[in-house]
Amino acid sequence: MRNLTPSDQRAVQAARHRCALFGRDDWLAVEVQGPDTRKFLHNMLTQEVKALPDLAVRDACLCDAQGAMLAVTRLVMDGERAILWTDLQNAQGLADQLDKYVIMDDVQVHVQEELALLVIVGPQAENCLQAAHLPAPQALGQAVAATMDTHNVLIWRQDLDGRPDAPHGPGQPAFWLQVARAQFGDLASQLLAAGAQAGTHGGLELLRVRAGIPRLQLDLEPGTLPLEAGLKAAIDYRKGCYLGQEAIAIMTYRGQARRHLCWLQPLDGDLPAPGTQLRTQDGKRAGKLGSAVADGEERWALGTVQRKAYTPGGIVVATAEDGQSARLRIIATTEAGVFVEPAAT
């Protein structure tokens, strides 16, 4: 479990009550560019791409033929260019997977290291952007283009939701800024001068866990489908064929996910490392422990829980190879709209 430092806690408090600025150096961009970009990505990703307006922003997944996720991305359409933001460690693999399918399409795929991403989070984030003479878009899923000292910036809003039992409200407003890496420092300095507080990696990790945003290798079991990770918004059900569509459609229509990404509340003991098996109190396999963060008396965790073991308010046990164990209460799945009030334990 990651314990927040005083600096981390100050960054979290700023995000909750004012605004905090975080550099997303944990994400890297993959660029797809060319006349056939929309058609190519439409056939690859779980999300509608062909009909997206320019500067649209959508979450999307790349899956294999069995529907298992290979990458989770945030797609930004920009003319004949698409930017796919993904976890740093997955970026090269995503580029290689896409490039493997380029046969007749007129596109080029490569990791784009010349772009950087920031996010400003908190109830005063909009005021901070305006003080920095930057627009604060209100429409979700649509970026706006801005200029900062002749530098181009794309800005979009995508809020960070929170756990249903969170003591600090359901979530926080969040504005994302895409800029050339060479101008990253100038943009950050301008936002800090406008009132944002500098964020930290630990603070950002707590916000991620609290928002139920999974990291592929850390929080999810191999073979996980987007629906099992609370990523229903990354799927468009009206589009034509794409990689993994059949498996995703079958799971949707049967309504039987094999597992759920869940918020878990640690109840006692130090948590074992991510990847530790979860078991029911009578010893049956129940899933896998993911990320965990401690913020003072608050303890937050993510994990995948098998369908048969999923009961809001139920207890699972994480036991490491050395015998270290800890109990966790299941709060709810991270899928929007299915929050369930946990039973008293």
CATH of the domain at 190: 3.30.1360.120
In a domain, 327, yes or no: yes
Within a domain: 227: no
- Angstrom distance (rounded) from CA 89 to CA 164: 30
Q: What are the helix (H) ranges across 89-193?
A: 91-100, 125-131, 184-193
* Residues in contact with 158: Cβ distance below 8 Å, sequence separation at least 6, in sequence order: 57, 74, 140, 141, 174, 176
Question: Is there a single domain that holds both residue 92 and residue 147?
Answer: yes
- 24 and 99 in a single domain? The answer is yes
Q: Which helix (H) or strand (E) holds 210?
A: helix 201-211
pLDDT at 180: 96
pLDDT for residue 1: 81
pLDDT of residue 269: 72
Same-domain status, 92 and 156 = yes
CA distance 31 to 248: 26
pLDDT at 143: 97
Domain boundary among 184, 211, 238: 211
Note down pLDDT in tens along the chain; length 345 residues.
888 999 999 999 999 999 999 999 999 999 999 999 999 999 999 999 999 999 999 999 999 999 999 999 999 999 999 999 999 999 999 999 999 999 999 999 999 999 999 999 999 999 999 999 999 998 999 999 998 877 899 999 999 877 766 655 567 899 999 999 999 999 999 999 999 999 999 999 999 999 999 999 899 988 999 999 999 999 999 888 999 999 999 998 887 789 999 999 999 878 888 999 999 999 999 999 999 998 877 788 999 999 999 999 999 999 888 878 899 999 999 886 543 333 332
204 and 262 housed in the same domain: no
Q: Are residues 155 and 268 in the same domain?
A: no
Of 181, 211, 241, which one is at a domain's C-terminal end? 211
Number of helical H runs and strand E runs in the chain: 8, 20
- Report the number of distinct structural domains present in the chain: 2
Residues 202 and 267 in one domain: no
93 within some domain: yes
What's the burial of 24, exposed, middle or buried (CB within 10 Å: 0-12/13-18/19+)?
middle
Shared domain check, 161 and 47: yes
Domain with 22 in it: 2-211
Residues 262 and 184 in one domain: no
Same domain, 82 and 145: yes
| CATH value at residue 312 | 2.40.30.110
In a domain, 192, yes or no: yes
Residues 204 and 287 in one domain: no
Same domain, 86 and 185: yes
- Give yes or no: residues 191 and 302 share one domain: no
- Is residue 219 in a domain? no
Which of 154, 176, 211 delimits the end of a domain?
A: 211
Q: What is the pLDDT of residue 148?
A: 81
In a domain, 247, yes or no: no
Domain contains 242: no
Residue 245 within any structural domain of the chain: no
Taken as a whole, the chain contains a residue count of 345
Helix%, strand%, coil% for the chain, nearest 5? 25, 35, 40
